[in-house]
Structure 1
Amino acid sequence: MAIDVTVRRAIPLPPDRVAAYAMDWRHDAEWTQGIRRAELTREADGGGFGVGAEVTRTARFLGRRIDYVLRVAGYDPPRLLDMVASAAPMPMHVTYSFESHPRGTLAGIRVRGGPGGLLRLAEPLTSRQVRSSLGKDLRDLERRLTDREGGT
């Protein structure tokens, strides 16, 4: 059984504003649960951030430090950012999506993968924890963006 969790939230701002912030790796630690550090460790083939770029993240999950590298597999701002782990303790595929919605933007995060080794036994707990973390991520994304909008 593999993890496949999707969480969505309507955010009362246009998709281009939500996506510009959420797709920028420099903001990862500000709104993503558990991420302590994110660094662009490989630029895209044409330079900068895009398909082929790699972001190295240091995070805490279930009380453990996890270091992993996500390679950008799909990049279509402001609609989609699709990343696959190129180096991680477990297979991971993370997709961020942003669609127009009557209340602004429907932001979504989908995480697919599977725990390796002993974590495989805790998979139902892991799926619940991932769902909870992603829900908090989108809540924090909305708060950070609406606070910024209110302050400008």
Structure 2
Amino acid sequence: MTIDETAERVIPLPPEQVADYAVDWRNDPEWTQGIRESALTREADTGGFGVGAEVTRTAYFLGKRIDYVLRVAAYEPAGLLDMVSVAGPMAMHVTYTFAPHPRGTLARIRVRGDARGYYRLAAPVMARQVRSSLAKDLRDLERRLIERGGAAEA
């Protein structure tokens, strides 16, 4: 079963501020549902974070630990982060976009995936959970940024 879920939210801060925090893998456990750990496990060919870099995330879903690796397929600072899974229980494609908006930043997260094995049976539950989690992720992202002293100016 294919999962394709998108959530978006206007965050009252500039795109650079929102994107800088959101794409930093070290912040994943602070605002991304279910992520307990996140680490840069392979640098980009040019060093650091960028196209080709890999981030390993540890999450929990339906009581099971899930370790998966996402490779950066496209990266435009303050605008786009596109990642595809290269290891894990299901094929996954995660896209973050950040666009200027009259009230700040239109932040969008899209998750696409093909569930297989145990997760195929749970796919309908997973789709609902992903949809709910993405909306909460964006609320938590905004809250974290405001708590960190983000001024509501765009």
Give the TM-score taking structure 2 as reference length.
Answer: 0.94
Aligned to 2:54: 54
> Which residues of structure 1 form unaligned runs of 5+?
none
Report the Cα distance in structure 1 between the residues aligned to 2:119 and 2:16, rounded to whole angstroms: 37
Aligned to 2:28: 28
Following superposition, the deviation at residue 99 of structure 1 comes to: 0.5
1:85-138 per-residue CA deviation (whole Å, 9 max, x = no partner) reads 010110000000000111100101000002111322332221010000111110
Matched, 1:7 2:17: no
Aligned to 1:87: 87
1:42-67 per-residue CA deviation (whole Å, 9 max, x = no partner) reads 00000000000001111112221100
Equivalent residues in 2 for 1:49-128 (5 A)?
Answer: 49-128=49-128
DSSP 3-state at the match of 1:39: strand
Report the Cα distance in structure 2 between the residues aligned to 1:146 and 1:11, rounded to whole angstroms: 9
Q: Which moved more, 1:23-32 or 1:115-124?
A: 115-124
Identity of aligned residues (%): 72
Report the Cα distance in structure 2 between the residues aligned to 1:135 and 1:61, rounded to whole angstroms: 17
How many residues of Structure 1 are paired with residues of Structure 2 in the alignment? 151
DSSP 3-state at the match of 2:149: helix
Q: Which runs of 4+ in 1 moved over 2 A?
A: none
Following superposition, the deviation at residue 150 of structure 1 comes to: 5.5
Report the Cα distance in structure 2 between the residues aligned to 1:138 and 1:64, rounded to whole angstroms: 24
Go from structure 1 to structure 2 and tell me whether the alpha carbon gap of 1:145 and 1:128 turns closer, same or farther (over 3 Å shift).
Answer: same
Report the Cα distance in structure 1 between the residues aligned to 2:66 and 2:30, rounded to whole angstroms: 17
Aligned to 2:42: 42
Report the Cα distance in structure 1 between the residues aligned to 2:17 and 2:91, rounded to whole angstroms: 30
Aligned to 1:19: 19
> Which residues of structure 2 form unaligned runs of 5+?
none
Go from structure 1 to structure 2 and tell me whether the alpha carbon gap of 1:71 and 1:150 turns closer, same or farther (over 3 Å shift).
Answer: closer
Report the Cα distance in structure 1 between the residues aligned to 2:112 and 2:62, rounded to whole angstroms: 17
1:13-65 per-residue CA deviation (whole Å, 9 max, x = no partner) reads 00000000001111111110100101111000000000000011111122211
